[in-house]
Structure 1
Amino acid sequence: MFYYLDGTVAEVLPYLAVIDCGGVGYACKTTNNTLAHLKKGQRGKLYTYLNVGEDVFDLYGFATQSELNTFKLLIGVSGVGPKAALAILSTGTPDALAMAIITGDEKTLTAAPGIGKKIAQRIILELKDKLAKESAATGLDFSGSSGAVSTAAFTNKATEAAQALAVLGYTSAEVAQALKGVDVENLPLEEIIRQSLKKMVK
């Protein structure tokens, strides 16, 4: 229903931002990371997600599409609701979360309030499984004929980086282009992901 809101930031409250669009104030539940991008009285743009259910009509807003995509992935995990997803995304960036999922780092997830070890394990298990299925379906290993990245150059680290970027909602073609020119042989995994993300947001 809503793709994004672009207007004046009317209020910045804990886990909530109000965006004034043409005299109408839209209250968006959000993360600490998004709130850090907003200043009251200045222009703000949030990519939105509308959660509608029985007795529920909540609007969520995020400063980047990566954060929105990660939020959608998290609430798709059984037992993880919007409140838990916001808590997770408030303690780390989407790329840090993607790294945690790929590397099985439970501590990054349990650092969020209300996220226990069992939920963290479920998030890692379900999202890793989803990535594996998407990789098989879309050729995310880039061993096909796209030519963007040679098979020889596509190492295990690069595959893990590609999977982490896929967590953020990027397509296999976008990931292949982002990894092109990045030193996947010698850089640490986190730096590969960081450099790839920089290329995609330009």
Structure 2
Amino acid sequence: MFYYLNGTVAEILPGLAVIDCGGVGYACATTTATLSSLKKGEREKLYTYFHVAENAFGLYGFATQSELNSFKLLIGVSGVGPKAALAILSAGTPETLAMAVFTGDEKALTAAPGVGKKLAQRIILELKDKMAKETGGELDFSSGTPAKQVGFTSKASEAAQALAVLGYSSQEVSAALKGVDVDSLPLEEIIRQSLKKMVK
């Protein structure tokens, strides 16, 4: 329905940004990262998701497509609603979510208010399964170490698998990793720079 909103930031409230588009104020629930990037009175763009539930609906807005993609992945996990998804993304970033799923780091997810150990385990399990299906089962977590991809260093392979958690195809990931200094940068920074290139 809505792909993005491009307008003036009318209000910034806890967990909510109001974007004025042609005299209509759209209230978008959002993350702390998106809120911190906005300035009242300035023109901004938010990528949006319109969520329809049985007895309620809501508009969610994000400063980056990476956050939007992560939000959609999270609410696709059974038991994870928009509120929990926002809490997880407010406690971290798309990069830390990818890392948490890739490494099985439950603590990174339970740092979000209202996210317990069982829910964190479900998120990790379902997103890993989703990633494995989308990559044709080429990525193997059973040994605890990532399978190497042709032409990738071990760190680049790890970054590629973490990015796959966020729903990017192997072709998109390969293109994004080109030009990133995978030898000297830490893994999370490689993921961050790759994501930045993919959402330009």
Q: 1:170 corresponds to which letter in structure 2?
A: Y
TM-score where L is the length of structure 2: 0.87
> 2:162: which partner in 1?
164
Aligned equivalent of 2:88: 88
Q: Which residue of 1 aligns with 2:34?
A: 34
Whether the aligned pair in 2 keeps the contact of 1:2 and 1:50 (CA below 8 Å) is yes
SS at match of 2:12: strand
Corresponding residue for residue 78 of structure 1:
78
The answer on whether the counterparts of 1:100 and 1:109 sit within 8 Å (CA) in structure 2 is yes
The 3-state SS of whatever aligns with 1:113 is: coil
Counterpart of 2:67, as a letter, is E
Specify the alignment match of 1:154 in structure 2: 152
The alignment status of 1:194 with 2:195, answered yes or no, reads no
Q: What do the CA deviations read for 1:56-100 (whole angstroms, capped 9, x no partner)?
A: 121111101100000000000011100000000001111111111
- What is the alpha-carbon distance in structure 2 between the residues aligned to residue 56 and residue 188 of structure 1? 42
User: What is the CA–CA distance in structure 2 between the aligned matches of 1:157 and 1:128, rounded to whole Å?
Assistant: 18
> Which whole-Å deviations, capped at 9, do the CAs of 1:83-127 have from their partners, x for residues lacking one?
000000001111111111101111110100011111101100110
5+ long unaligned stretches in structure 2: 141-147
Please say if residues 131 and 167 of structure 2, whose CA atoms lie closer than 8 Å, have aligned partners that are also in contact: no
Residue 43 of structure 1, CA deviation: 0.8
Query: How far 1:183 sits from its partner (Å)?
Result: 4.7
Secondary structure at the counterpart of residue 114 of structure 1: coil
For the pair 1:3 / 2:3, whether they are aligned, the reply is yes
Secondary structure in 2 aligned to 1:36? helix
Alignment of 1:16-165 (within 5 A): 16-136=16-136, 152-165=150-163
Q: With the length of structure 1 as denominator, give the TM-score of the two structures.
A: 0.87
* Unpaired stretches in structure 1, ≥5 consecutive residues: 142-149
1:28 and 1:60 in contact (8 A); partners too: yes
- Report the residue type matching 2:170 in the other structure: S
The residue identity in structure 2 corresponding to 1:13 is: L
Matched positions, count: 193
**Aligned twin of 2:178:** 180
Q: Match of 2:60, SS?
A: strand
Q: What is the percentage of aligned positions where both structures have the same residue?
A: 78
How far residue 171 of structure 1 moved from its aligned partner, in angstroms, is 2.6
Query: Does structure 2 retain, via aligned residues, the 8 Å contact 1:16–1:28?
Result: yes
The letter for the 2-side match of 1:28 is C
Q: Deviations over 1:161-185 (max 9, x none)?
A: 1122123343321211122244545
Structure-1 separation of matches of 2:53 and 2:198: 34
AA aligned opposite 2:68 = L
CA distance in 1, matches of 2:53, 2:190: 40
| Structure 1 runs, 4 residues or longer, greater than 6 Å off | none
Q: Quick one: which amino acid aligns to residue 173 of structure 2?
A: V
Q: State how far apart, in whole Å, the 1-side matches of 2:136 and 2:182 are.
A: 22
Question: Any conservation in 2 of the 1:69–1:169 contact (CA below 8 Å)?
Answer: yes
